[in-house]
Structure 1
């Protein structure tokens, strides 16, 4: 991969940025750039979701620059309150992410994974993605963990093991498709929130369209309120569905799972899709909010309130890879333009009580 390095011209000599670390933190941060601050508004939480693809770096089989997304978040108004993450390799990689988030944002983050030591069985890219699990992360200065007790805090997504019976859905066995949830208390808003991260399987049966997405959507809806988690004032879920909202991405030929989930379309699960709300349902706008492969919208940030009605979401964003590159450049003075923060683009929004 070609690396582009930026610098400044001083007295006819090219001088590299003084920020030489892979991420600039603490006193190294640029005083000229206004960075994200802690959210102290009691009316909403700043939430992001992302399939982080095992935090790719430049030296891997499928290289990336996962810090670009952190840089992007640092240049927004508020730091993440909740971060719903798919595809970490286990507890050790969650600990790494929490440490780096503390270095980026200057305060403590905590989290829980579906499996601390997931079974092997990842996708492409060889050993870099052999182990995969999902996590819920929260900002400790605002949110306290009330409940996330294994094994009741996790559930297994369904798949169709028989290609000749694509509608016969049973629980899978893969660690990567095990969801995780946490009940959190918001000390600023004096509210409780249940947050969940999920990842549904990719299947070749049914044309690779995820034939069990409809049953998985129903299970997600139910899991948010089961096992003691149904006492919240707000429910937020983020994940990789591997199944688009519509067959044409930007069209309105909604898939069944999505119609059932989206309360604005009359769906019984009562979620608000932050992207749909941000675009006010406009097909062209939603087409621009793709999250995978330049065309498909398969990553979602969903929310509903304690009355099972769609929660209000505002300020929805899908950070582009170029925006991640530019944020890195702004904060460190250099960036590798050829590396993206993930194969998936993230979602972010303010989710209101």
Structure 2
């Protein structure tokens, strides 16, 4: 606010205004220079790993998605947060975009934020609107939902991702049986990518399992097995002239948390290759990072991704190498909503909607090594 206008509103006399200016300017003249804006992320040129993020973006919430006020959000906060990290995303696995038009919007804004071109593929370019209230009270904004794999084109190029072999439908419980769910939002998508820096190939997938209210929790075991199979089916395990795929990365929203009281849930025990008896052999980025901390359990608890009746961890980045070997995963992050707000304020120069979050879900980021 202009100081002269402020003085008029508060009834300050010219003399008092002069005194106020003296008080304000004197310490400013003696103070050190203001801290510089944070350094921005650079491109990843290391052939040894990819910088990966995963997020359920909840259809890119904006401040004008009202009423109700709970539908509003500030999805750019997550972009600003990524910009304050060391490296730009190489791979971005996304759940809950409206359609191809919203993917194009996201790609355009990513180019603006990062100064790089990104490309992507959706499970469905124009999904049918849900006939049920899949978005709760925000259904009007979330009735169309699909999932995406996005990549940085200077680092990765698309080898293959064509319908129908690039997608699959997650399962839910109907009449006591796990069958294919009929919601477009639960259709996973995969892409085979060539890494132009390392010369290696990567299969990347984005998935979204049905909610508890749609019988998804009961079929989490089946969905974990299906995810594992889909990564290598339909020719995504090799491709001429590149040969065998070198790395598999999957990111998504399971709608099923990893632990029930003191016991690992069956789906997670099968999936997490760092647990005894795992049959699917994935590495979970957050679990692996928390195992290096003094209190792994507290670390995992602190890195929740969704609040329902309790804080739950339902969003994951999973990695695997050919033959079931576990890739090294480092620098795992689960950016908080406050961190998104602060990054926006630091870089945008025009403040931030502090009361609005980038999504209902917190994102996950990590470096996945070959």
Question: TM-score of the superposition, structure 2-length normalised?
Answer: 0.83
Matched, 1:44 2:60: no
Match of 1:259 in 2: 269
Match of 1:63 in 2: 72
Deviation track 1:86-113 (CA, whole Å, cap 9, x = no partner) reads 0000111000000000000001000000
- CA RMSD of the aligned region, Å? 1.8
Moved more, 36-45 or 115-124: 115-124
Match of 1:217 in 2: 224
Determine the C-alpha separation between the residues in 1 that align with 2:257 and 2:37: 41
Would the aligned equivalents of 2:37 and 2:346 in 1 still touch at CA under 8 Å? no
Give the count of matched residue pairs: 319
Determine the C-alpha separation between the residues in 1 that align with 2:204 and 2:214: 31
Paired residues for 1:80-159 under 5 Å: 80-121=89-130, 122-124=134-136, 125-159=138-172
Would the aligned equivalents of 2:172 and 2:214 in 1 still touch at CA under 8 Å? no
Match of 1:328 in 2: 344
Which structure has more helix as a fraction of its residues?
Answer: 2
Determine the C-alpha separation between the residues in 2 that align with 1:289 and 1:193: 27
Between the two structures, name the one with larger relative contact order (CA 8 Å, sep ≥ 6): 1
Deviation track 1:196-225 (CA, whole Å, cap 9, x = no partner) reads 00000013377xx71000000000000000
SS of equivalent residue, structure 1 residue 94: helix
Matched, 1:73 2:82: yes
- How far did residue 290 of structure 1 move? 0.2
Matched, 1:283 2:297: yes
Unpaired runs of 5+ residues, structure 2, are: 1-19, 25-34, 239-244
Would the aligned equivalents of 1:160 and 1:212 in 2 still touch at CA under 8 Å? yes
Deviation track 1:11-49 (CA, whole Å, cap 9, x = no partner) reads 69x9xxxxxxxxxxxxxxx97431000000000000000
Determine the C-alpha separation between the residues in 2 that align with 1:88 and 1:329: 25
Aligned residue among 301, 315, 324 for 1:299? 315
- How far did residue 227 of structure 1 move? 0.2
SS of equivalent residue, structure 2 residue 163: coil
Aligned residue among 345, 349, 353 for 2:366? 349
Determine the C-alpha separation between the residues in 2 that align with 1:11 and 1:77: 40
Deviation track 1:134-182 (CA, whole Å, cap 9, x = no partner) reads 00000000100000010100000000123xx2xx100011100000000
